[in-house]
Structure 1
Amino acid sequence: MTDLLPVPAVSAPAPAVTADARPVHSAADFTLTPAARAALLDAMPASTRRAYERDWDRFAAWCAKNGRVAIPATPETVTSHVTDLTTTPSDTGRPLSPSSIERALAAIRTMHKLADVTAPETKAARKILDAYRERLALAKDPAARTRKADPATPDVLRAMLGTLNRDTLAGKRDAVILLLGYACATRVSELAALDLADVRITSDGLLVTAYRRKIKKFTEVAVPYGRVPATCPVRAVRDLVAAMAEAGRTAGPLLVRIDRHGRIAPPMTRGGRTIGDPQGRMTADAVADVVTKSAAAVVTKSANGVESKGLEGSWTGHSLRRGFATAARRSGAALEKIGRHGGWKDGSTALLGYIEESDRWTDNPVTGL
């Protein structure tokens, strides 16, 4: 893992000398061991590591170009870099969004901590960032707004399911992604991590053992049978498990790569080397793609009968998690039950935001004035 974020060697601060008999810290006390540094990197989600790597490479290149030291960086260097990010076009042809620059600041601070040096103070840099955010907002620039996935509520789910060919193994798998991801309110990484052994079919429904990354523990989620077979997650899982058993797969990942010929875990190579999980486990990005592609395949019809393809809005893997919270709240479920079912932390601001959006009409303070 450590080769993802190479950390320059930086000498530790000199230990303070005390006048009394208390032990005096040495340089080693201010230095992470290689094992501790690797463990910290491993604790970081892979997508975050990749993003931080890109942010750090950009910062280091900017420092080299402008004759500045990347680590330890001064507050003035960080402020100047942030100012440059707000005006210089990125790979998209536009300057980075405020949220991307916020992440870049986090990457710079993280790299300093991993190098056992004090992270630079960012107060001035954040003032520049706040001014940039306000400038975009006043200009009605969409970049000023935080991008959110639209919630995949039941009507949306039904439309997405209608795009699948559920007679095929891939169609059965994709139906499980949509229905189980929604019913368990999983993140795509949590959904991709499920094994066949993690999903038990009982007379009452499913018992799904999912590892919730944000709260760092396993939860057992109960999913009852649905009233409508076509949208029942229990039946969808049962169909997929039976089809995989028929194809010879009775253990390993629940969600696997399937090619257009219906082969499970077909070999993949790049540059002559075998890539991908050897058991064929789908990546979190591949799971999210199923949601995005299903939404793009939905055919809608306007009031005057004109057909168009693709649902309006932003549809990602997180749409399933948001859709569960929205629909559960609208059906009257209590906040704490929604949170515990979906593995949100107690008092989660993200969940509260979903609930507020769900309640904006049903619990509107203007009503009755």
Structure 2
Amino acid sequence: MDEHDLEVVDAELVDDNLPAIRERTPLVPGSANDPDAWLPPEAQEDVKAGIADATRTAYEGHFQAFAKWCATEGRRPLPAAGDSVAAYISHLTRTPRERTGRPYGPGTLDGIIAAIRTVHRDRKEPVPETKGARQVVAGYRKRLSEAKDPAARPNRATPAKRDVLRQAVRTLDRTTLVGKRDAALLLLGHACATRGGELVMCDIESVTPDPEGRGIYVRVYRKKIKQWQDVDVFYDEDLELCAVRATSDLIDALADEGHTTGPLFLRMDRWGYLAPPMRRAGKPIGDPTGRMTLEAASEIVQRAMARAGQPGRWRSHSLRRGFVNSARAAGADIVDIGRHGGWADGSKALLGYIEEADAFSSRNPLAQINEAERKQRGNS
């Protein structure tokens, strides 16, 4: 039958056997009274897989601390009132932490607000209004800034530029397995501009040689943009800083130990044994494959920089920031830098790194004004 032969009838289908419809609470999509607001177990696991383990753990920790505070104040943590969130954030701005003796910084407080909102969404509870809490953070940030408190500024990792990186790798004994691992971690993290979590997730299979012998391709999962990327890494003319050679040396050394598949960066004990078992309270902990953690990667960067006598806040993220600084100093275009490092187009984070790299460079507008005036004086 042709679709034009169909007759459209504006009517209702009524079944006389159906019970009378009773008035009920208006349906709020996604709330507890929504019959479709549920997920089967496999879908719940799929949702969890889309959130980084470290983020999920941090959010749960922040919410548990909020719930504990609510219990002492006689407030309801779930679903929380917006005023409760604002009062809690205000409390945190005035409460020194045991570990540091100082309150949380504004950036962490923003994360705590996000954690409370996320846990509410995950548990299908009404998300509290957090405008008041955000205003508390804004006022706190203003007070810190006016007091010239360093806490008002983001606590960023120090960029590991090439000259600093060279000093760090020179402290390593690259004849040992540990030294080969640490050199590859420092140099490959810089060359691929990886976040620490992206770097430690690399496997031996993630590294493939370029068929034309120009270097290697490294398969990296860019967490923020949720995409895989094949990062091309060239042989470096500076042998000390060549990520291709350092990575190949590590893979060959791991093969000699019988490790030919799986994690590229493995935890090792003080004697250089691979993937030693770890226990806490008699129970196994850590990745059973021996894969290094993000924290362990940061410790490697910290130790190497400390041995090199380099002051700063050194983390695994220092390698990513250092790549931007090094590439920009070499004249690389911001678009090329962003695509190599897996930044989204127009990334504000990348623009911040670029501004940092351009400080006191020929790209600084004041430097360009001075250069133009020098040329003008020369022509007059």
Q: TM-score, normalised by structure 2?
A: 0.85
* 1:72–1:112 CA contact under 8 A, matched in 2: yes
Greater shift in the superposed pair: 165-174 or 222-231: 222-231
Name the CA distance, whole Å, in 1 between partners of 2:336 and 2:170.
30
Query: How big is the alpha-carbon RMSD for the aligned residues of Structure 1 and Structure 2?
Result: 1.9
Gaps of 5+ in 1: 1-12, 18-24, 299-309
Give the corresponding residue for 2:289: 279
Name the CA distance, whole Å, in 2 between partners of 1:191 and 1:117.
36
Question: Residue 49 of structure 1: CA displacement?
Answer: 1.6
Give the corresponding residue for 2:67: 60
Name the CA distance, whole Å, in 2 between partners of 1:38 and 1:279.
21
Q: Does 1:334 align with 2:336?
A: no
Question: Residue 286 of structure 1: CA displacement?
Answer: 1.1
Q: Does 1:81 align with 2:92?
A: no
Question: Residue 195 of structure 1: CA displacement?
Answer: 1.0
* 2:27–2:34 CA contact under 8 A, matched in 1: no
Residue identity matched to 2:355: E
Name the SS for the 2:228 alignment partner.
Answer: strand
Greater shift in the superposed pair: 311-320 or 198-207: 198-207
Residue identity matched to 1:332: G
Name the CA distance, whole Å, in 1 between partners of 2:242 and 2:268.
22
Name the SS for the 2:318 alignment partner.
Answer: helix
**Aligned residue pairs, count:** 339
Give the corresponding residue for 1:119: 127
Name the CA distance, whole Å, in 2 between partners of 1:176 and 1:337.
23
Match of 2:156 among 144, 148, 159: 148
Give the corresponding residue for 1:205: 215
Change (3 A) 1:29 1:168: same
* 1:14–1:27 CA contact under 8 A, matched in 2: no
Q: Does 1:241 align with 2:248?
A: no
Give the corresponding residue for 2:359: 360
Aligned ranges 1:141-290 → 2 under 5 Å:
141-202=149-210, 203-290=213-300
Name the CA distance, whole Å, in 1 between partners of 2:251 and 2:223.
25
Gaps of 5+ in 2: 1-23, 371-380
Name the SS for the 1:150 alignment partner.
Answer: coil
Name the CA distance, whole Å, in 1 between partners of 2:313 and 2:39.
41
Give the corresponding residue for 1:47: 54
Name the CA distance, whole Å, in 1 between partners of 2:40 and 2:115.
20
Name the SS for the 1:219 alignment partner.
Answer: strand
Give the corresponding residue for 1:311: 310
Greater shift in the superposed pair: 110-119 or 156-165: 110-119
Question: Residue 59 of structure 1: CA displacement?
Answer: 0.9
Name the SS for the 2:304 alignment partner.
Answer: helix
Question: Residue 32 of structure 1: CA displacement?
Answer: 4.9
Question: Residue 36 of structure 1: CA displacement?
Answer: 4.3
Question: Residue 273 of structure 1: CA displacement?
Answer: 2.4
Change (3 A) 1:26 1:268: closer
Change (3 A) 1:40 1:345: same
Name the CA distance, whole Å, in 1 between partners of 2:216 and 2:25.
58
Greater shift in the superposed pair: 171-180 or 95-104: 95-104
Name the CA distance, whole Å, in 2 between partners of 1:109 and 1:282.
31
Give the corresponding residue for 1:4: none
Structure 1 residues 249-278: Cα deviation after superposition (integer angstroms, max 9, x where no partner)? 222211112222222112222222222222
* 1:325–1:338 CA contact under 8 A, matched in 2: yes
Match of 1:69 among 76, 100, 122: 76
> Which structure has the larger Rg over C-alpha atoms?
2
Give the corresponding residue for 1:15: 26
Question: Residue 236 of structure 1: CA displacement?
Answer: 0.7
Question: Residue 184 of structure 1: CA displacement?
Answer: 0.6
Residue identity matched to 1:87: R
Name the SS for the 2:365 alignment partner.
Answer: coil
Give the corresponding residue for 1:108: 116
Name the CA distance, whole Å, in 2 between partners of 1:341 and 1:256.
25
Change (3 A) 1:129 1:224: same
Structure 1 residues 292-342: Cα deviation after superposition (integer angstroms, max 9, x where no partner)? 1111111xxxxxxxxxxx311111100100011111111111111111111
Name the SS for the 2:230 alignment partner.
Answer: strand
Name the SS for the 1:223 alignment partner.
Answer: strand
* 1:201–1:234 CA contact under 8 A, matched in 2: no
Name the CA distance, whole Å, in 2 between partners of 1:16 and 1:248.
60
Name the SS for the 1:105 alignment partner.
Answer: helix
Change (3 A) 1:168 1:30: same
